[in-house]
Amino acid sequence: MAGWRNRADDPPLPSFDPAYLDEIDRAGSTAQFGYVIEPL
């Protein structure tokens, strides 16, 4: 794991973009429940 600290300066991965995570959440809700679960 040499050099792992150097990653701290890298930009965040695009997969952690909130809009992307919301899209995953919607797709998961549809697949699991058949409809989108709205946030509380």
User: Could you tell me the sign of the dihedral formed by the alpha carbons of 6, 9, 14, 19, in that order?
Assistant: positive
pLDDT at site 14: 67
Q: Report if residue 5 sits inside a domain.
A: no
pTM, whole model, 2 decimals? 0.39
| Residue 16: domain span | 11-40
Across the range 14-24, mean pLDDT stands at 76
pLDDT at site 2: 61
Q: Report if residue 19 sits inside a domain.
A: yes
Q: Report if residue 29 sits inside a domain.
A: yes
Beta-carbon count within 10 A of 18 CB: 7
Return the amino acid letter for 8. Answer: A
Q: Report if residue 18 sits inside a domain.
A: yes
Q: Report if residue 26 sits inside a domain.
A: yes
Q: Report if residue 34 sits inside a domain.
A: yes
Instruction: Count up the domains in the chain and report the number.
Output: 1
pLDDT at site 19: 80
Beta-carbon count within 10 A of 27 CB: 11
Across the range 7-35, mean pLDDT stands at 76
